[in-house]
Amino acid sequence: MHRVVPIYLAINTSPSMARRLVEVEQMLVALTDELLSSPVLGDQVRIGVVSFADTADLVLPLTDLTRLGRMPRIPSGRETRFGPLFELLAKVVGRDLTVHRAMDAEVMRPMVFLLCDGLPTDNGWERSFAKFYGVAHAGVILATIGLDEKETQWLGSALRATAAFSWADERTYSLAARVEEVLLDHASILVTSRVISTPRGSSSGSPSPEQDA
């Protein structure tokens, strides 16, 4: 049975994010190279891209990036609204799950990587999120640019995020590299060993110091 690991990038395209969109497109190219270089990740990871501002658009449906002829261009929008995003994601993720399961694939829990640089301006977006969460049962990883820790934590909590990152709004780091690292860290469970059990009485938490140091 073929396994599918669905990852959706939800990219805020409000005007303040406009200069970052090129970096997001660069990240998609770098991610494609990585998926090409790792046959098992390439075989199983599928990427979808949703842009959101005052409206939300499916820029790239869930896709095997390594077979994509050209990268999507991400259009910029106006204000940051979460309601349209989660309305769209509920439809898209729900449909993708149905399609892939009908094709007898083992579909792993979907993950939404949400990148934004502002708090949502619309009221009642939580209802859309609850609907999305009920349909998709997706995990959310949140990355904010320029928000402080407290705002990021609040937003992460409201989104039931499994991880939340608060990145500074400066050019001293590569946004593409950071996003790629987070995504690959999520997907790498397919190709790396993990602790699957820690027997009771384990001493692993406090290894004994060297006796003859």
Partner 1 sequence: MSTGTTRAGWPSVPQRLKEAEIRHAVPGSKGGASTVFTAFGYADRLMYKKYTEPRDPAALDRLVELHAAMDAESAGYARDHMAWPVATVRAADGQVAGLMVIRADMTFHAHLSTSRVRVRDFNYLLYEDRAARVGVPPATVRQKAALLRDLVSVLLWLDERGLVHEDLAAHNVLWRLEPEATVFLLDCDSLRPAGEATGQPLFTTVDWTDPRVLGEEVARPDRASTSYAVGLLVARVLGSPYWRPASGEGSIGPGGGFPPALEPLLDAAVGPAANRPSLRTWLDGIDGIAGALPAVRRVREAPPTPPATLRVEGQTIGLNDRLALLAGLVIGALAAVLVMVRFL
- The site for partner 1 (CB under 8 A) is made up of 1-3, 33, 36-40, 42-43, 51, 57-62, 64, 66, 69-70, 72-73, 75, 95-96, 99-100, 103-105, 188-210, 213
Minimum distance, C-beta of residue 6 to partner 1, in the bound complex (Å):
11
Minimum distance, C-beta of residue 114 to partner 1, in the bound complex (Å):
18
Residue pair 131/124 in contact by the 8 Å Cβ criterion = no
Identity of residue 92: V
| Nearest residue (CB) to partner 1, 130 versus 177 | 177
Q: Which residue has the tokens 């990585």?
A: 34
Identify the H or E element spanning 25.
helix 21-37
Please give the backbone phi and psi of residue 204, each rounded to the nearest 5 degrees, phi first: -65, -25
Minimum distance, C-beta of residue 162 to partner 1, in the bound complex (Å):
16
CA angle 144, 150, 156 (to 5 degrees): 55
Q: Which residues contact 167 (CB under 8 A, 6 or more apart)?
A: 143, 144, 145, 146, 173, 175, 178
| Nearest residue (CB) to partner 1, 95 versus 137 | 95
| Nearest residue (CB) to partner 1, 4 versus 155 | 4
Minimum distance, C-beta of residue 45 to partner 1, in the bound complex (Å):
12
CA distance 142 to 92: 19
Minimum distance, C-beta of residue 204 to partner 1, in the bound complex (Å):
5
CA distance 137 to 101: 15
State the CB neighbour count (10 A cutoff) for residue 133: 17
| Nearest residue (CB) to partner 1, 123 versus 209 | 209
| Nearest residue (CB) to partner 1, 104 versus 170 | 104
- Structure-derived torsion over alpha carbons of residues 18, 22, 27, 33, reported in degrees to the nearest 10: 160
| Nearest residue (CB) to partner 1, 150 versus 209 | 209
213: its two tokens: 């140091």
Minimum distance, C-beta of residue 63 to partner 1, in the bound complex (Å):
9
